[in-house]
Structure 1
Amino acid sequence: MSGTRGSLGATVFPALALLTAAVFSFGEDWLLLIPPGLMYAPYVVAAILVIGSVFATLEHAEVVGARVGEPYGTLVLTIAVTIIEVAIMASMIEHGADDPTEAREAVFSAIMIVCNGLVGLCLLLGGFRHGEQELQQMGASAYLAVLIALSVLTLILPDYTISSSGPTLTHSQLYFISTLSVVLYGAFLFIQTVRHRSYFLDARTAALGHRESRPSVRSTSMAMLGLCASLLGVTILAEQVVPAMEDGLAFLGVKNSNAVAGAALATLVLLPESLNSIRAAARNALQTALNGALGSVVATIGLTVPAISVLAAIKGHDIVFGLEKRDSVMLMLTLMLSIVSFGAGRTNVLTGLVHLVVFATYAFLLIVP
């Protein structure tokens, strides 16, 4: 089993991340000793360690996932990614207390990156290598049903409520939507892991009776320890990296800086899940690829949004989730395209290309809003 023993980086990056976090915990007076030309060096080092720890999360989660099997294996990584997302978005909210749109931009970016960029790349790569690929229609339909409901309730509905001014929800509305999100995601997990597990198992792999060797209990225990260390390192260092990145974008005068920051952070958080999905699509396990890709974005809305809403309420920060008209159109286009793409149960190169065209449009509008 690849990754059972663990690479050196999967051990070194989390350890260095925790050490660096401990250094930052002593305060920032020591930063005054650094020459002016190198004042941002500690934050650059912290950012590198965060990226390395995110990849370490992937490696450790893969070992744990191989031990528990599908679809639980994919769920392990999804939960890990969700924890990282909550930590990073919490740092964004705390640093940008006067800007209530940062969490919205991060959530919207995650949807666009996964449903267009990642899904498009998986379908395109799989189509080139295997011609057509099959997926479980019921599994894809379950993902899309939850995704459509949660994304519209969270990102579109606030534009049309009248109890509060602007694209916002009142506290009671926000709590109600957050509760529904958690309940719906919980029901989805029950369907995925208990009631209808077969919907989410790759049909081709199951038909061939393919089974990977399971890591030992010792290897799994070490991977769990490494996973916890990686998540802790990312969570703590995010409090230093996120403000530094936002200040850097403001200093450079980047237009639409909130959207750019949200896209950058969503890309970082989704990298482990993305690599896992791309590898699965390349070996003709499309359903496994979709489990990782769509599972991450469903968890983002179903778990991350309620968590961020609660944190914002506790700290007394306002939060805006309603999208602007342009982004609402892009979201609806993405959802409609996803229904068409997965409705036939088979995909090809053209399907992936269309998703990538929409993703390219989203990326272009980040630069030229």
Structure 2
Amino acid sequence: MRSGTASQAAQWTTWVPVVAAVALVLGWGRVLPVSAVTVVGLCLVGAVLAAVHHAEVVAHRVGEPFGSLVLAVAVTVIEVGLIVTLMAGGGDKASTYARDTVFAAVMITCNGIVGLSLLVAALRNRTAVFNAEGSGGALATVCTLATMTLVLPTFTTGRPGPQFTGAQLAFAAVASLCLYGLFVAVQTGRHRDYFLPVVRDGQDSGPDSHAPPPGVRQTWWSVALLFVALVAVVGDAKLVSPAIEGGVESAGLPKSVVGVVIALMVLMPETLAAVRAARRDRMQTSLNLAYGSAIASIGLTIPAIALASVWLPGSLILGEDATHMVLLALTAVVSALTVVPGRATLLQGGVHLLIFAAFVFLSFSP
């Protein structure tokens, strides 16, 4: 019975990404009616679930923290392409798109994903345990990148408004890329053990450690389908974004809401993968996914946008307003208090989810 179920799941995760990609090709560049938007939305959900499955196959083959890195980098690279595409056709009205998307990604990962994962892990095991060394280093990287790219532009004086000069933007881009490369080197090399799941006393390392890893052919097949699924996720999110923009405009909501909603859809694979890891008492994997996605979102997006700004029309506004800077500072302080002990309870999960709820609420009602 189990083999039959596994076979059905494998077939389902094979054809759903292809169908979602076909929907993307057929709908790209067209104004979709409500029925078509509904179909694309269903394809988007299916592609997210398929992406999580194939990411777990790859992760089981290569092990942690490489598995978390694969999913975080893959989603971010495709997300960067989406941001550049939207900014290229948006003109001045898209000048804040990169800022809104990156900040939303930081709030979603550091508060939404972390809070939900802590809640799930604590409900099952009373406390969630993880490596303070690795998680603390990842958090420090997130805070440094976010402050340097989203806060400093508000206070520089080289250009009027929350903008970098060309030289400042180049420095921020190179520094972000270098810090991201250093983090990956530490995570996968010298201090890889800091990013491995913690094994509790009297427990084994989890069911995944006993299952045989997938073969090379199956792994590469999952890598290919993971890429197709992630392209479909980001592309289908782009297709449904006009409907979201129309709804936001008709409701009289701020334009930044669109970036929040799109970021939520794009980060669904990481969210589901992190929650599933937390349910298996692998909280470190959940934190690897959350903080790794935030680091990749800033460390890869800012250099790409800086390079694209040479030919993109309009200005590039990166500096945040006072409300978002307060939320970022609160996130940094609370996250540090969560990570330092190396264990957390329901309380910490609830605090992070409350901060995330405040971000979402203030996005709709600034």
TM-score w.r.t. the length of structure 1 is 0.89
Checking the alignment, whether the CA contact within 8 Å between 1:158 and 1:168 is kept in structure 2 is: yes
Where has structure 1 moved over 6 Å in runs of 4 or more? Answer: 1-4
Q: Which residue of 2 aligns with 1:61?
A: 55
Distance 1:236 1:354, change over 3 A: closer
Q: Which residue of 2 aligns with 1:18?
A: 21
Tell me how far 1:41 sits from its aligned partner. Answer: 3.1
Distance 1:277 1:122, change over 3 A: same
Task: State how 1:203-352 maps to structure 2 within 5 Å.
Answer: 203-204=198-199, 208-210=204-206, 211=209, 212-250=211-249, 252-258=250-256, 260-352=257-349
Distance across 1 between alignment mates of 2:22 and 2:128 = 45
TM-score w.r.t. the length of structure 2 is 0.90
Checking the alignment, whether the CA contact within 8 Å between 1:163 and 1:170 is kept in structure 2 is: yes
Distance across 2 between alignment mates of 1:217 and 1:290 = 27
Q: Which residue of 1 aligns with 2:350?
A: 353
Checking the alignment, whether the CA contact within 8 Å between 1:88 and 1:242 is kept in structure 2 is: no
Distance 1:121 1:239, change over 3 A: closer
Distance 1:236 1:363, change over 3 A: closer
Give % identity: 38
Tell me how far 1:24 sits from its aligned partner. Answer: 4.1
1:41 counterpart = 2:35: yes
Distance across 1 between alignment mates of 2:246 and 2:310 = 24
Checking the alignment, whether the CA contact within 8 Å between 1:201 and 1:288 is kept in structure 2 is: yes
SS of structure 1 residue aligned to 2:91: coil
Distance across 2 between alignment mates of 1:54 and 1:171 = 37
Structure 2: runs of 5 or more not aligned: none
Distance 1:277 1:326, change over 3 A: same
Amino acid corresponding to residue 362 of structure 2 in structure 1 = L
Q: Over aligned residue pairs, what C-alpha RMSD do you find?
A: 2.4
Tell me how far 1:238 sits from its aligned partner. Answer: 4.9
Distance across 2 between alignment mates of 1:257 and 1:193 = 39
Checking the alignment, whether the CA contact within 8 Å between 2:92 and 2:313 is kept in structure 1 is: no
Distance across 1 between alignment mates of 2:115 and 2:27 = 40
Distance across 1 between alignment mates of 2:170 and 2:6 = 42
Checking the alignment, whether the CA contact within 8 Å between 1:71 and 1:197 is kept in structure 2 is: yes
Structure 1: runs of 5 or more not aligned: 32-37
Amino acid corresponding to residue 101 of structure 2 in structure 1 = A
Checking the alignment, whether the CA contact within 8 Å between 2:114 and 2:287 is kept in structure 1 is: yes
* Range 227-236 or range 76-85, more displaced: 227-236
Q: Which residue of 1 aligns with 2:71?
A: 77
Distance across 2 between alignment mates of 1:95 and 1:161 = 28
Q: Which residue of 1 aligns with 2:152?
A: 157
Distance 1:282 1:233, change over 3 A: closer
* Range 204-213 or range 221-230, more displaced: 204-213
